[in-house]
Structure 1
Amino acid sequence: MREHGRTRRLLGLGVRTGGALLGSRLGRETDWRTLGEALFEGLSELKGPAMKLAQIMAQWDDLLPPDLADELARLQRQAEPMPWPRIRQALVMQYGDPESVFSEIEQTPFASASMGQVHRAATREGERVVLKVQYPGMVEVLESDLVQVRRMMRLGRWLRVPQVRLDALFEELAASLRSELDYRAEARALARYRRRYAECDWLVFPEPLEALCGPHVLAMRHVSGTPLREMETAPDAQRQKLATYLADWLTEELFTYGELHADPHAGNFASDDEGRLVIYDLGAIIPVPAARLKAMLELLDAALAQDPLGMDIALQRLGGRQGEGAPLALYRESAEAIAPLFAPGPQDFGDVRIHRRLRELSPRVWAALDRLQPPADTLLLSRTLNGHYWNMVRLGARLDMHARTQPLLEWGRSI
């Protein structure tokens, strides 16, 4: 009965969302705030992949109606925690008797997410650790919920997105969610990244405690830090240093190692007492082949050259825009909107004029989806980069993106 009740609630939320989308498309007034509140309350309690999908949507806050984006963003920082007795079940499955391993486990989590939550603890030897605990039964729930998520994603056809692209996006999302449930894989990723950046004195990854890790519990040494989402009022120099570190790390990941941290939730990043960048979560990492990087750089190169035809050719090389009727005016306006960020010299990511211009363009982007047809296998990468962009906005970053991108564009032209 519990599974059927969960299914009914997910379907109800999907129908309500679909009705709002359809009404908006037909020109009816939509109360996005009320819809967002309903989604927050329902998904915060249900958790799982549907909540994860809503968190992903929230990172596209330049495309969503502001009231809806605000409510969905709460899922990233105010999600209802799972009651302690259920979490203890997971700990018993991992350790048998948790009290034989830990002298203390804080029952109130300091972070709650879609698939698990994080509790501070102390071992019997007195070491401070954090435990990332997967919600009990999440593996089974995942597959059941994915069926409903696939149904909800069919709403994308109302935006004239072909079913084949919706199916490809679903498969990419499903693969990402399944990988996030493998906590042993995340422990291995943490160990790999610690080796990779062992000589980097401005980057910190928590150390996984292999003897205490299992498929559903990830144990790490405690690394204190101020979450990025709380850094907006920090001194400017500290924020600029952190923004520089984040930009340097992302560039290194993409162009040296061909990988990208694919969960840009602001709670996954922090600044420690020494001002270093702390990265807590490595549950989602995606490979980025050099050929895909080259194609994306070709699109950026054409945009910076204010070349709409070149943008269309680049988008087709990425696997999008298979139909007729290139929206050249939309390309031109999009290029003009992002151009200020790539002008020579430090540019302000907090410039509201840029955000306003992008938001004004978003209805036209949605309306042109049947012609744009963004390639499904780059949607997760695009969403991730968008999320990291908004982390830069939160930091009020001022970065010389012209100087940063010119060597990368030259690299793209040379291969």
Structure 2
Amino acid sequence: MVSSRRAAGAAGAALGAAAITTGVVLRDAGRRNRIERSARIGRLMARRGAHFAVIKLRGAAADDARKRQLEEQFTIRTAEDVARELGNMKGVIMKAGQMLSFILDGLPEAARDSLASLQGDVPPMSPGAAAKVVREELGADPERIFLDWSEMPVAAASIGQVHRAVLRDGRIVAVKVQYPGIDRAITSDLANAELLYAMFSALALKSLDVQGLVEELRARMIDELDYTLEARCQADFAERYRGHPFVHIPDVIPELSTRRVLVTEWVDGLRWDDFLAVADHDTKQRTAEVMFRFIQGAIYRARVFNGDPHPGNYRFHLDGTVSFLDFGLVKRWAPGELETLTPLIDPLLERDANAMTSRMIDAGFLYADHGLVPGRVWEYVSAPYTPYLEHEFTFTPDLASKTLGKLLDRNGPYADVMQKLNLPPSFVILDRVVWGMTAVLGRLGASNRWREILDEYRSDAPPVTPLGEAEALWRAGNS
């Protein structure tokens, strides 16, 4: 298992690199805002660095048990500090914190709980500020538009917050209101390419096309600022999954949805932690398969999928169905993009290292003069796909962090492989979805024939579970 200090170190390295770099390039219209946000990251890293120095001094003469205790205390304090600071910052920096919170699942429980707050609730804006956005976008105060309006939000996240309301016809709706000025904060962060390059370089090391990844994030987050795009994506998914036996997408209310306000059907359901606390084993197993099938169906059939896969975007029901709520950070496959990845994944899943390495060179993912043993390349690239290499596989809570510990270790066993890879942004985003799914299924202890289920979506193989059969019947009725 990855040590808690290494897990915290991955987060700290990413944020530390960002903090150091942002002091250098601050020369455009958003200069003051960028200085303030960069300074906050700098203060965060200074606090964590000072604390780490104290921990090192205290542990110098300590035995192994005491050192582990000190390291765990440092990790917990770091997570609390990161969650507190990033939760207040919102925007791109908070989104990066969400990524960290989701994949670093091997942290101590107290640290994970602190970072988990980035996936759900963050400090909201005032009732007056939310009402002002609604008034500017819809032409009237929320009390005049809705039969009932909850001034206090039910959820708050990186871009906006959600209020519960009732339409004049009696329908209960969720009203997502964008934070005032968040567009400027995000545009400022995205304009500071050096900050983002440093942050993702520290996370991704040299095995990724970091510049391409930053450009992909830039495009996706600019899109996320326009709720009309999210409304179209969600409406498309709602129509695509209408009547589905175990997936529910809330309908959009288009006449009340604008660039900064999104109104959708209200969904009652359990949040992630509440679901984990009350669901029985069978319900958790069914729910795991539902989430897996939804994600794979989106990737391979709809060819458009949520690039922000964390359970704060889901609502869970004790009948084993799941409602998927957030479609702001959506990735659509460009023509030929998925077809470029598929020839690589086929030999990967068949454990054919030579064929996989050859196709990676052809696709430009691996330098032709790499000089590596194909088997080592396969070991590295296939790591996220371990669950699909077995007939049946059980996800564990530490699987994502344990595997990432090896893949993200600059001085680890695969350092030579990292130096020779040039993975495209599309592959990185797909990997992020895989890691996110791995973390969620690990918390559920999900066990199934995942490879055979995956093949239902990749190659139209026949269904292998009752859920697969139910979905096949639904598809046949909608064809």
TM range (shorter): 0.7 to 0.9
Change (3 A) 1:224 1:258: same
- Aligned pairs for 1:198-217 (under 5 A) are 198-217=242-261
* Aligned partner (choices 56, 69, 86) of residue 43 of structure 1: 86
Match of 1:99 in 2: 143
Match of 1:389 in 2: 438
Which has the larger displacement, 81-90 or 202-211? 81-90
8 Å contact from structure 1 (residues 91, 98) kept in 2: yes
8 Å contact from structure 1 (residues 49, 145) kept in 2: yes
- Aligned pairs for 1:3-402 (under 5 A) are 6-15=33-42, 32-61=75-104, 71-95=114-138, 96-148=140-192, 150-154=194-198, 165-233=209-277, 234-272=279-317, 274-288=319-333, 291-322=336-367, 324-326=370-372, 328=374, 330-331=376-377, 333-334=379-380, 341-342=387-388, 345-350=391-396, 352=398, 356=402, 358-363=404-409, 364=412, 367-368=415-416, 369-402=418-451
Which has the larger displacement, 14-23 or 273-282? 14-23
Which has the larger displacement, 54-63 or 266-275? 54-63
- What secondary structure, in the 3-state scheme, does the structure 1 residue paired with 2:174 have? strand
Which consecutive unaligned segments of at least 5 residues does structure 2 have? 1-28, 57-70, 462-479
Superposition deviation, residue 113 in structure 1: 0.8
Superposition deviation, residue 217 in structure 1: 0.7
Superposition deviation, residue 110 in structure 1: 1.8
Aligned equivalents of 1:327, 1:247: Cα separation in 2: 33
Residues 328-355 of structure 1: CA deviation (Å, up to 9, x unaligned):
5643544786676235544211275686
Letter in 2 for 1:373: N
Aligned equivalents of 1:67, 1:98: Cα separation in 2: 39
Match of 2:464 in 1: none
Aligned equivalents of 1:290, 1:128: Cα separation in 2: 39
Residues 70-124 of structure 1: CA deviation (Å, up to 9, x unaligned):
6544311342222322222212212322211123322222211100011111234
Aligned equivalents of 1:50, 1:298: Cα separation in 2: 35
Letter in 1 for 2:282: A
- What secondary structure, in the 3-state scheme, does the structure 2 residue paired with 1:286 have? strand
Aligned equivalents of 1:62, 1:314: Cα separation in 2: 32
- What secondary structure, in the 3-state scheme, does the structure 2 residue paired with 1:11 have? helix
Superposition deviation, residue 251 in structure 1: 2.5
Match of 2:26 in 1: none
Residues 361-400 of structure 1: CA deviation (Å, up to 9, x unaligned):
5423784533233223422222123212222223322120
Aligned equivalents of 2:106, 2:354: Cα separation in 1: 24
Letter in 2 for 1:244: E
Superposition deviation, residue 9 in structure 1: 3.4
Change (3 A) 1:348 1:290: farther
8 Å contact from structure 2 (residues 80, 114) kept in 1: yes
Calculate the TM-score normalised by the size of structure 2.
Answer: 0.73
8 Å contact from structure 1 (residues 131, 219) kept in 2: yes
8 Å contact from structure 1 (residues 271, 277) kept in 2: yes
Letter in 2 for 1:348: T
Change (3 A) 1:407 1:195: closer
Superposition deviation, residue 211 in structure 1: 2.0
Aligned equivalents of 1:4, 1:339: Cα separation in 2: 43
- What secondary structure, in the 3-state scheme, does the structure 2 residue paired with 1:187 have? helix
Residues 2-34 of structure 1: CA deviation (Å, up to 9, x unaligned):
9655422322355468889999xxxx9695554
Aligned equivalents of 1:65, 1:310: Cα separation in 2: 40
Change (3 A) 1:181 1:378: same
Aligned equivalents of 2:379, 2:96: Cα separation in 1: 29
8 Å contact from structure 1 (residues 295, 317) kept in 2: no
8 Å contact from structure 2 (residues 238, 251) kept in 1: yes
Which has the larger displacement, 242-251 or 287-296? 287-296
Change (3 A) 1:395 1:221: same
Residues 237-260 of structure 1: CA deviation (Å, up to 9, x unaligned):
212222222222223222222221
8 Å contact from structure 2 (residues 253, 265) kept in 1: yes
Which consecutive unaligned segments of at least 5 residues does structure 1 have? none
Change (3 A) 1:312 1:144: same
Change (3 A) 1:352 1:146: closer
Change (3 A) 1:11 1:411: same
